[in-house]
Amino acid sequence: MGSILVTSSTAKRTWYDGGTLYQAIYLGVNGGKYAEGEEVKLVLSRYKIHRFTKLSEADYFNYRVSYTPQRYFDSVRIQIWEYGETTTTDLSDELNSIKTTLNRIEKKVDDISRFGNL
């Protein structure tokens, strides 16, 4: 998962289209060509969250990202961030702990309502 941002200090306020990001993977067949993977349309000055193609470490050298800006840009800056993988076990453990606590509270409330009116 990653995020992409395209900015231009010379862009007019009315400009919207930030260009296109292309992903390609080297096939090594048919003359050693890259096969276009995915095309991502970008909006100027807005973050785009994108799920990049997941690759093995061996495929890193066979992967290419290219960017085509709009032809009317005098200057443009593209930033790409990759978010590290998160594990769900920590969150899952926390949710289970919360469920256990809520169940204990619910039982205590039930006991109070059942036995509290003697």
Q: What is the pLDDT of residues 1-46, one digit of tens each?
A: 789 999 999 999 899 999 999 988 877 666 667 778 888 999 999 9
d(CA 22, CA 14): 25
CA proximity to 18, closest of 67, 65, 69: 69
Q: What is the pLDDT of residue 89?
A: 56
Q: Tell which phi-psi region holds residue 45, choosing left (phi > 0), alpha (psi between -120 and 50) or beta.
A: left
At 70 the three-state DSSP class reads coil
Average pLDDT, the chain: 82
Maximum Cα–Cα distance for the chain, whole Å? 87
Quote the pTM value. 0.61
